[in-house]
Amino acid sequence: MEYGKLVRDRIPEIIVSKGKTPHYHVACPDEYGRSLAAKLGEETLEFQESGNLEELADVLEVIYAICAYKDMPFSVVERIRARKALERGGLERRIILDSVDEVSGTKS
């Protein structure tokens, strides 16, 4: 079976423990960055489809890995999140924007 995707570090040894032979390589930095972005999409989709908290934890794991890849502490992401929440609000009020009417008759 072919995969070609980023997996958790212990997956090869888990495969070996099941009597199978994994074939893998260590990604170069560019491939790793692209693979992290793809993994984030994959894990996010799995959470959307299942709603399972295990999948949400996987999303967070990928976010931590992206921060490490970018040599940026997770606290930087948290500060950005907090700033945006102050400026634009959070998601607690459950607002669904249905449409926006264009302003007509503007004065010159």
**Which stretches of 1-108 are assigned E, i.e. beta strand?**
none
Q: Give residue 41's pLDDT.
A: 98
Q: What per-residue confidence (pLDDT) applies to 46?
A: 98
What does the alpha-carbon distance between residue 7 and residue 55 come to, in Å, rounded to a whole number?
Answer: 14
Using CB atoms within 10 Å of the CB of residue 32, give its burial: 0 to 12 exposed, 13 to 18 middle, 19+ buried. middle
If you search the block for the tokens 């007509």, which residue do you land on?
Answer: 104
**What digits encode the pLDDT tens for the residues 7-64?**
999 999 999 999 999 999 999 999 999 999 999 999 999 999 999 999 999 999 999 9
Model confidence, pTM: 0.85
Output the furthest CA–CA distance in the chain (Å, rounded).
76
Domain boundaries, given as residue ranges, for the chain:
28-87
